[in-house]
Structure 1
Amino acid sequence: MTLSMDTQSDASARRPTKNKPSVLFDAPGPRARLRNNIVTLVAAVVLLFIAYLIIARLSDQHQFDGKLWKPFTEEVVWTKQILPGLWGTLEAAAVAAVFALVFGVIFGLGRLSEHKWISVPAGAVVEFFRAIPLLIMIFFAQAGPPAIMDAFNRVLPPVSAFLALVIGLTLYNGSVLAEIFRSGINSIPKGQSEAGYSIGLRKGGVMLRILVPQAVTAMMPAVVSQLVVLLKDTALGYIVAYDDLLNEGLRVVSVNFGNTIPSIIVIAVIYIIINIALGLLATWLEKRSRRSRKSAARTLNTAAGAPPAVGMGSA
């Protein structure tokens, strides 16, 4: 199946060109590009020089001596300290991520409700937990309930560090995710929902069948970025003595072997690897979602006897 010459000409006219200036800003000219390249080069040289000074200073303090790095070549350090700490970090992040996503979906949809008795309380909850520092929420989740029950002459078992950390991460990141979900759904053109109503769908059907599937692709980078933030925020469990990667690596390893700087570097590398893996996963999911949507659109066009949309290929 091929497009006619007129259709191809119209489609070509509608395609944006790469060099077309944006409405929001003017494309940089040759001098501006040269100036930007010079600034970038100078900044890179300055950063490299600062990194050299830091490395040289650490070397003078013998922080790169083999005896300080030797503990990380021993199996017992990994099996008894670092890997259990890594598991604690991933466990807290996974549990908090699930609850934060559920929290975000519920309160994000609540803020989109047309009923004030739903949208107003949902908005108040979201704004309240977004405004409180995460560390305060973790502290309160651990110390608050026993103190409150003690005021009523009731005894409550101590809240574990794991539970306090998960509660704090869920409330804070769930509130941020609620705003991401709300913004993502509001970013869909109104014509999409109007088309759904025109074929007889109710509000719930329009939301689940039309708006949410399109918003998921748009929201994916922001959602994964927030989950990366959640993963890094698990390091705050160090304050409440949770056995996470930072606690096991920095407190246990460095105290036993006196190698604080090497411990920090190893822990940072592990966090970086995990976050890069999450970023790659997000990119793969986004591409897969776009391919699925294009494939579905191509199937519908073929079934209707219409030519495939421009950019989706032709038979």
Structure 2
Amino acid sequence: MSASVLTDLPGPKARARHALYGVIGTIVILGILGFVIYRLAASGQFDPELWSWLEYQQIQLGILSALLTTLEAFAVGAVLALVFGALLAAGRLSEHRWVRIPASFIVELFRAIPLLVLMFMFYFGFNSFGAGFSPFVAVVVSLMLYNGSVLAEIFRAGILAVPHGQSEAAYALGMRKTRVMLLILLPQALRAMLPTIISQLVVLLKDTALGSLVLFQELLYYFRQAIGGQLEFGQPAVPSAISVAAIYVVMCLLLSWLATYLEKRNRRSKKRVVLEGPEAEQVEQIALASGTEVSGGIQHDKKQ
């Protein structure tokens, strides 16, 4: 059922009113932004002396090194979070209570604990007992536990969103749950989950900045310690904050652009899954039984 059946489409007056609201909102936002820029300029935050640190090669290399450290923590944390989330989602979808209940407990536990508390616990708490966690390990493990728990719910919701008729038809044909998950449910669920997964990875990237509070030498730590407090540059705390914010904005925009690109690509064309032999026949039978259209890419084994 289309949205036009449920709600009335806006008429000419409503469209004009909405356009006016958009113009007013844009003017207000630009006005606030202009006022902030004016106050920064009036307080001398754009003076060349406060930005002279950008000319030093040593500072530039330090920023590059901190950026690579941030990206390393993000990459490792993202991979571990995806794997951890997939395992927890599989556990929550399990038919066995001894698997489902512990997985649900872990998900709810680490979703409820703030990420910064996890970092403090792994670095300051466990190290007081001689655990020997480095700042990098404390940050990565915390990112894995927190974001992995959130991703587990994303995975579970995506799989449960697939029409039940397809899994029921697969079970009726004698397929086991593992094959149903891998061949029927996951390929369809991944399309719906992909933009949300990348959006959560954007959150994970921004969360790496919290590592500066546990002495992890990432971007924010470097800008705050090596630049923001330097007397020879006039203690450029605000310029350094603006610079590190701009870098994070660029990285997050790139990830958001990737999510938009993948979503548009999924809308344009469907993935071709090439199956042969009995698997192709089973998928066709499941699609017919559940009333789903079968797209190209299924091949039969003529030799059998």
Cα distance in 2 between the residues matched to 1:163 and 1:294: 37
Asked whether 1:33 is paired with 2:10, we answer: no
What SS does structure 1 have at the residue aligned with 2:214?
coil
Per-residue deviation at 1:37? 1.5
Cα distance in 2 between the residues matched to 1:311 and 1:157: 54
Stretch moving more, 101-110 or 44-53? 44-53
Identity of paired residues, percent?
Answer: 47
Per-residue deviation at 1:143? 2.2
In structure 2, the residue matched to 1:74 is: 56
Stretch moving more, 124-133 or 288-297? 288-297
In structure 2, the residue matched to 1:21 is: 4
Q: Which amino acid aligns with 1:252?
A: A
Per-residue deviation at 1:78? 1.0
Sort the Cα spacing of 1:76 and 1:146 in 2 relative to 1 into closer, same or farther, 3 A: closer
In structure 2, the residue matched to 1:283 is: 260
In structure 2, the residue matched to 1:221 is: 195
Q: 1:184 aligns with which of 158, 171, 174?
A: 158
Larger RCO, structure (CA 8 Å, separation 6 or more): 1
Cα distance in 1 between the residues matched to 2:269 and 2:4: 31
Q: Specify every segment of 5 or more residues in structure 1 that has no aligned partner in the other structure, as ranges.
A: 1-15, 150-155
The superposition leaves residues 178-216 of structure 1 with CA deviations (integer Å, 9 ceiling, x where unpaired) of 000000000000112123223331111000111001111
Is the contact made by 1:217 and 1:290 (CA closer than 8 Å) also made in structure 2?
Answer: no
Cα distance in 2 between the residues matched to 1:168 and 1:310: 42
What SS does structure 2 have at the residue aligned with 1:204?
helix
Asked whether 1:94 is paired with 2:75, we answer: yes
Sort the Cα spacing of 1:84 and 1:294 in 2 relative to 1 into closer, same or farther, 3 A: closer
Q: 1:50 aligns with which of 14, 28, 32?
A: 32
What SS does structure 1 have at the residue aligned with 2:211?
helix
Q: Which amino acid aligns with 1:85?
A: A
Matches within 5 A, 1:74-153: 74-79=56-61, 81-147=62-128, 149=129
In structure 2, the residue matched to 1:12 is: none
In structure 1, the residue matched to 2:300 is: none
Cα distance in 2 between the residues matched to 1:69 and 1:276: 25
Aligned length, in residue pairs: 278
Is the contact made by 2:195 and 2:262 (CA closer than 8 Å) also made in structure 1?
Answer: no
TM-score scaled by structure 2?
0.84
Sort the Cα spacing of 1:140 and 1:53 in 2 relative to 1 into closer, same or farther, 3 A: same
Sort the Cα spacing of 1:128 and 1:310 in 2 relative to 1 into closer, same or farther, 3 A: closer
Per-residue deviation at 1:32? 2.2
Is the contact made by 1:93 and 1:234 (CA closer than 8 Å) also made in structure 2?
Answer: yes
Q: 1:269 aligns with which of 242, 246, 265?
A: 246
Per-residue deviation at 1:230? 0.3
Cα distance in 2 between the residues matched to 1:157 and 1:182: 33
Matches within 5 A, 1:151-190: 156-190=130-164
Is the contact made by 2:198 and 2:256 (CA closer than 8 Å) also made in structure 1?
Answer: yes
Cα distance in 2 between the residues matched to 1:250 and 1:27: 52
Asked whether 1:194 is paired with 2:168, we answer: yes
Cα distance in 2 between the residues matched to 1:95 and 1:200: 39
Matches within 5 A, 1:237-252: 237-252=211-226
Per-residue deviation at 1:251? 2.3
Cα distance in 1 between the residues matched to 2:94 and 2:294: 36
Per-residue deviation at 1:289? 5.1
The superposition leaves residues 133-178 of structure 1 with CA deviations (integer Å, 9 ceiling, x where unpaired) of 111111001122234x4xxxxxx25321111111111110000000
Q: Which amino acid aligns with 1:176?
A: V
Is the contact made by 1:82 and 1:245 (CA closer than 8 Å) also made in structure 2?
Answer: yes
What SS does structure 2 have at the residue aligned with 1:239?
helix
Q: Which amino acid aligns with 2:255?
A: L
Is the contact made by 1:104 and 1:181 (CA closer than 8 Å) also made in structure 2?
Answer: yes
Per-residue deviation at 1:45? 1.0
Cα distance in 1 between the residues matched to 2:30 and 2:123: 43
What SS does structure 2 have at the residue aligned with 1:293?
coil
Per-residue deviation at 1:119? 1.0
Sort the Cα spacing of 1:47 and 1:290 in 2 relative to 1 into closer, same or farther, 3 A: closer
